[in-house]
Amino acid sequence: MSVFERYPPLQPIEFRLLRDFVYDRCGLHFDNSSMYLFDRRLGERLAALELDSFAEYYKHLRFSSDAAREFDEAIEVLTTSETYFFRQEYQLRSFEKELLPALAEKNASTKNLVLWSAGCSTGEEAYTIAMMVHRSGLFDDWDVRIIGSDITKSRIAAARRGVYRAGGSFRTIEPTVRDKYFAPHPEGFQVAEFLRQYCQFGHLNLMDRANLAIVGPVDVVFCRNVLIYFDENSRRRVIDNLYRRLVSGGILLLGHSESLLNVSTAFELLHLKEDLVYMKPMRTEARQTL
Ligand SMILES: C[S@@+](CC[C@H](N)C(=O)[O-])C[C@H]1O[C@@H](n2cnc3c(N)ncnc32)[C@H](O)[C@@H]1O
């Protein structure tokens, strides 16, 4: 088939195979109304690979020597990377004004702090956390590690590069904050070196418990605007995986439309001035099986 010809439309059976494969691998749930999305978005991949049908594309995705790279491409076109600096500011204010001082006290003896942006997309959330940690002035001589992880390698590559075009990602940031933490770059602005040093980015699937162990014990997890794309089963698995990574008393922050209702009863609710967050209870540490 030439690249100028339209590939044959996605058949219901092909849609189910592709959708179930994506679900099994990374927990993303697509209902029947997503068939058009699959046809359009994965159709681009079919054309790029010069394949003749979605059945061939499915085989390529499962069995070709390039399967892992193509899976990344598929997830990239099927999911949204939408993110920006200081997203959900009311929650970040609570984090900055209440949680960071509490963590400075809690970890004062070790001077060690690990914060994780799980599902970080192109890195804006991790760098936002870094800016708040830096400007709090509470952790200057500490060992601070901010981890950003995502299932798509291309988004992780963008996060590591730390270059963002003016506009988009900067939509809610104060110009004075931007000028303090970014340097002008031919393509926009680049995160300042001293801030990048806090941050490490890695390719991780939140459904993959064994691989997540690489993250080590974590004080706070931000998993915001990720679970909305999962069904209840996958949410349970991801939340359980995050729970296991949290230290006793560790905190979980979700997106504003996300909650643990029907997902987990393992966390306690912590009422902050402007937000509700989840805390791994202190007493369960002894029972934790890591
Ligand atoms: C909408 S973005 C949210 C970015 C950021 N957390 C925020 O709130 O601005 C959702 C991200 O979750 C990632 N994602 C989806 N499923 C995932 C999985 N199973 N493991 C890791 N990341 C995943 C997607 O690749 C996407 O970059």
Residue reference for tokens 């800016």: 131
- Helices and strands (H, E) in the chain, number of each type: 12, 10
- Full set of structural domains in the chain with CATH: 12-78 (1.10.155), 89-287 (3.40.50.150)
Task: Give the DSSP H/E element, type plus range, for residue 276.
Answer: strand 276-279
CA–centroid distance, 6 to ligand 1, in Å, is: 31
Q: Report the alpha-carbon distance of residue 104 to residue 121 in Å, rounded.
A: 27
pLDDT at site 290: 36
CA–centroid distance, 285 to ligand 1, in Å, is: 28
Ordered DSSP codes for 63-115: HSTTHHHHHHHHHHHHS-----TT-SHHHHHHIIIIIHHHHHHHTTTTTEEEE
| CA-nearest residue, atom 17 of ligand 1 | 151
CA–centroid distance, 76 to ligand 1, in Å, is: 10
Q: Report the alpha-carbon distance of residue 164 to residue 77 in Å, rounded.
A: 20
Q: What percent of the chain has pLDDT over 90?
A: 92
Q: What are φ and ψ of residue 140, in 5° steps?
A: -60, -40
Cβ atoms of 191 and 182 closer than 8 Å: yes
Q: What are φ and ψ of residue 7, in 5° steps?
A: -65, 155
Among 150, 173, 231, 254, the mutation site with the greatest number of ligand 1 atoms within 8 A of its Cβ is 150
Q: What is the pLDDT of residues 172-210, one digit of tens each?
A: 999 999 999 999 999 999 999 999 999 999 999 999 999
Q: Report the alpha-carbon distance of residue 181 to residue 40 in Å, rounded.
A: 39
Q: How many CA atoms lie within 13 A of 237 on its CB side?
A: 17
Q: What is the pLDDT of residues 97-111, one digit of tens each?
A: 999 999 999 999 999
Closest CA to 140 of 194, 84, 81, 199: 194
CA–centroid distance, 75 to ligand 1, in Å, is: 10
Which atom of ligand 1 is found nearest the CA of 155?
Answer: 27
pLDDT-derived band at 288 (thresholds 50, 70, 90) equals very low
Q: Report the alpha-carbon distance of residue 37 to residue 49 in Å, rounded.
A: 18
Q: At what angle do helices 54-63 and 12-26 cross, to 10 degrees?
A: 20
pLDDT-derived band at 4 (thresholds 50, 70, 90) equals low
Which atom of ligand 1 is found nearest the CA of 223?
Answer: 6
Q: What is the pTM of this model?
A: 0.94
